Amino acid sequence: MPSFLTKTFNSFRTLKLLDGAVMFAVFAAVISVGIFFPRMWLLYIGASLLAVLYSQLFGRGQKKTGYILIVAGLAMLLALPANWAYWVKWDQRNLPAAFEQESAAALVLNQSVLADLQGAAEKEKLRAMATAFKAGLVNGQTIARIEIPRIGMTGIIVEGTDDNSLSKGIGHLEETPLPGMQGNFSIAGDRVLYGAPFLKLNELEAGDEIIVQTTYGLFTYSVYDKKIVTPEDVSVVRSTGEEIITLITCDPPWSTSRRLIVHGAVTSASLL
């Protein structure tokens, strides 16, 4: 290190300004990451570890500073789950409004479809509108509102089951039909992460209602089956021509070794 830098470094150490500057930089970095880049969790952890490392390298002669930095680093690590959970909720807060906007935008599409189905049965109208709506879906797009009174759960369903889609709550398996298409409408949700929408799914019993409102219709299902399967069992999402719903989540919570499956059969379906 050049001599002038060494002198400068020693001067800062003598004045105890370097400790304060580094502490300020660490806290500023953590706050910035937490507020503006909440998903950059590696950087968040790195900043907290930096505080602990700095305390070991430069805090030995200044016991108070070392202890402060150690506590600060550990506190940042412990705060990470809360920070992450807060931003998940922040991301989900706009979903109801987004679905309302989606429903309003779908009115034109629905009217266009219905114009060609004058005199058709309501079931045929629902099928046609569902098919037209599904054709334009993209991952992350809101598609329905779900309510399960038995477990006090309400939420918004989005298209897709990738991490980004599931982080919003409940995802629709893209390869399965939408309500009204006379098939197996299959959705997945977490029991621990992303707001844990399906945490209490295991409490559902035969006869419990599941209510789904799409942009074109209102559907009520009645639970008729609940079982545990392996992740490889894809038979649970196959369509048999009957109008059903399938809810999928992990069992037990925090494990991906098995899947909890709940099936429901439609008991009523009507146009909005």
Say whether both 52 and 133 belong to one domain.
no
Say whether both 222 and 101 belong to one domain.
yes
Nearest Cα neighbor of 76 from 100, 109, 43, 116 is 43
Say whether both 106 and 181 belong to one domain.
yes
Residue keyed to tokens 């600060």: 72
Say whether both 86 and 123 belong to one domain.
no
Q: Quote the pLDDT of residue 49.
A: 60
Say whether both 84 and 117 belong to one domain.
no
Q: Which two tokens stand for residue 113?
A: 């479809």
Among candidate residues 55, 70, 91, the one where a domain is terminated:
91
Q: How many domains, in total, are found in the chain?
A: 2
Say whether both 164 and 234 belong to one domain.
yes
Q: Judging by beta carbons within 10 Å of its beta carbon (0-12, 13-18, 19+), is residue 5 exposed, middle or buried?
A: exposed
Nearest Cα neighbor of 246 from 234, 255, 232 is 234
Among candidate residues 60, 91, 122, the one where a domain is terminated:
91
Say whether both 259 and 140 belong to one domain.
yes
Say whether both 33 and 108 belong to one domain.
no
Say whether both 57 and 153 belong to one domain.
no
Q: Quote the pLDDT of residue 76.
A: 59
Question: Which positions of the chain have pLDDT values less than 50?
Answer: 1, 4-5, 7-9, 11-15, 38-39
Say whether both 256 and 174 belong to one domain.
yes
DSSP letters spanning the chain: --HHHHHHHHHHHHHTHHHHHHHHHHHHHHHHHHHH-TT-HHHHHHHHHHHHHHHHHHSTT-HHHHHHHHHHHHHHHHHHHHHHHHHHHHHHTTHHHHHHHHHHHHHHHHHHHHHT-TT--HHHHHHHHHHHHHHT--TT-EEEEEEEGGGTEEEEEEE--SHHHHTTSEEE-TTSPPTTSSSEEEEEE-SSSTT-TTTTGGG--TT-EEEEEESSEEEEEEEEEEEEE-TT-GGGG---SS-EEEEEEEESTT--SEEEEEEEEEEEEEE-
Say whether both 222 and 106 belong to one domain.
yes
Q: Quote the pLDDT of residue 233.
A: 96
Rg for the chain, CA atoms, rounded: 26
Say whether both 102 and 71 belong to one domain.
no
Give the CATH number, domain containing residue 187: 2.40.260.10
Domain containing 240 equals 94-271
